[in-house]
Amino acid sequence: MASLKRVLFLFSDTGGGHRSAAEAVLEALQAYFPGRCQAHLVDVLKSYAPTPFRQLPLLYPGMVRLPRAWGLGYRLSDGHRRARAITAAVWPYMRLACRRLVTEHPADLLVSFHPLLNAPLLKALGPARPPFYTVVTDLVTTHALWYHHQVDLCIVATENARLRGLAYGMRPEQMRVVGLPVAQRFCCAPDDPRRLRARLGWPQDRPVVLLVGGGEGMGPLYETARALARRGGALALAVVCGRNRGLRARLEAVRWEVPTFIYGFERRMPEMMQAASLLVTKAGPGTISEALNAGLPMVLYSYLPGQEEGNVDFVVKTGAGCYAPGPEHTAAAALSLLQKPQELQRAAQTCRQMARPQAAAEIAELIANAFQGTTIKSGHRGLAAGYAPERVARNWR
């Protein structure tokens, strides 16, 4: 009996999106193609990289709190030639670590979920290497480091990301537009919002605004929640603080003018998104994709310069939500949208049309078929449609 094919998923915890995307694809691979291959996840920077690269996951939260500096670094490094110069400069420091990784984890297919890993690992593998796939975890304004001309397949979330890849020298046959992979619990068929609200203990007689700042509770959540509550009105707030205990304690000390529910790190985000009337958040790709799957309109209050800039246009130009930076402007935009039920309903319908709930399953199918000699054309649904066949998906330019 032939042994199982080995698949190596490569990521780094510089931001939550890389790990969560890898875990979503692994979940789909196990659910839809059991026994087809054996997949293993490796946090490359944490487990193998030398100092200072090993510290990047710890330094990342502080780095993104300096958005101007982050944006400057992003722009200065983004470009085909500049990206190649960066990887050439880094290679002497990463050479031994990368070679140790590929020696300790022999694989029949490697899948990278992080832009910093592609060039050094391809070089460490050498010319007689197994197939190498890249899953881009940004939506629109994707960095040049994502696109390496030697990868066998580059999987992106939007048509705009595909066009950027072509501009950076990728060949059309290397690219697939699939969507951003998110966990299966965010891709289930819609549930009854009233039943979900009853389960969550939320009021039934008023709209609920869900405020989210990612797993770390980043952004002006406190100020935005206070701005919404001070304006009053018939609404309720649900604020998810993630792992930010200080923010949660600060919010729990407030005497709120409207019904307000404060949470820490939550596993019920899919239920909350389906039960809420409106999402207020930063322009993170994972949160946007999850909201689209839930049919939840959104108000964006900030973005990370560089990779999240295009996400604002993605939401605004398609009609899935609006952009209103600053707590008072965010609160005003949210209340204005809640007071226009027809506009809110149109935005919710747009979210459902833009959703790609089958993305993780499609990527899993691409991986599984890599060992069957099968080529999947862009736009193929196949078994991947099992996630949520009632959802309508389309590309965005």
Residue 391 lies in a domain: no
Same domain, 65 and 173: yes
Distance between CA atoms of residues 227 and 208, nearest Å: 15
Using alpha carbons, list the distances in angstroms from residue 290 to 115, 127, 269, 394. 22, 38, 9, 15
Same domain, 324 and 203: yes
Number of domains observed in the structure of the chain = 2
Using alpha carbons, list the distances in angstroms from residue 355 to 35, 108, 196, 366. 29, 32, 21, 20
Residue 15 lies in a domain: yes
Same domain, 343 and 210: yes
- Residue 232: predicted pLDDT: 76
Same domain, 193 and 122: no
Q: What is the pLDDT along the chain (397 residues), one digit of tens a residue?
A: 457 899 999 999 887 689 999 999 999 999 999 988 899 999 998 889 888 888 777 777 777 777 788 788 888 888 888 888 888 888 888 999 999 999 999 999 999 999 988 999 999 999 999 999 999 999 999 999 999 999 999 999 999 999 999 999 999 999 999 999 999 999 988 889 999 999 999 999 999 999 998 777 778 899 999 999 998 788 999 999 988 899 999 999 999 999 999 999 889 999 999 999 999 999 999 999 999 999 999 999 999 888 899 999 999 999 999 999 999 999 999 999 999 999 999 999 999 999 999 999 999 999 999 987 544 343 333 333 333 333 323 333 3
In the chain the first and final C-alpha atoms are separated, in Å, by 47
- Phi-psi sector, 326: left (phi>0), alpha (psi -120 to 50), beta: left
Distance between CA atoms of residues 94 and 113, nearest Å: 18
Same domain, 197 and 292: yes
Residue 64 lies in a domain: yes
Cβ contact 86:115 at 8 Å? no
Distance between CA atoms of residues 27 and 168, nearest Å: 31
Distance between CA atoms of residues 354 and 393, nearest Å: 5
Diameter of the chain by CA atoms?
Answer: 68
- Helix (H) and strand (E) counts in the chain: 16, 12
Same domain, 235 and 350: yes
Same domain, 291 and 333: yes
Please calculate the CA angle 394-316-380 and round it to the nearest 5 degrees: 10
Same domain, 148 and 11: yes
Domain holding 45, by residue range, is 5-184+357-386
- Residue 43: predicted pLDDT: 93
Given the DSSP bridges, would you call strands 132-135 and 109-112 parallel, antiparallel or unpaired? parallel
Residue 195 lies in a domain: yes
Task: Find the CATH number of the domain harbouring 23.
Answer: 3.40.50.2000
Same domain, 297 and 284: yes
Same domain, 63 and 126: yes
H helical segments located in 64-128: 67-77, 80-104, 118-125
Distance between CA atoms of residues 158 and 139, nearest Å: 6
Residue 160 lies in a domain: yes
Cβ contact 224:212 at 8 Å? no
Same domain, 349 and 371: no
- Residue 2: predicted pLDDT: 58
Distance between CA atoms of residues 229 and 235, nearest Å: 8
Distance between CA atoms of residues 332 and 45, nearest Å: 42
Distance between CA atoms of residues 324 and 35, nearest Å: 48
Residue 38 lies in a domain: yes
- The per-residue b/e assignment along 2-40, b for 16 or more CB within 10 angstroms, e otherwise, is eeebbbbbbbbbbbbbbbbbbbbbbbbbeebbeebbebe
Residue 397 lies in a domain: no
Cβ contact 376:365 at 8 Å? yes
Same domain, 14 and 82: yes
Residue 393 lies in a domain: no
Cβ contact 164:136 at 8 Å? no
How many other β-carbons are positioned within 10 Å of the β-carbon of residue 43? Answer: 18
Distance between CA atoms of residues 231 and 223, nearest Å: 13
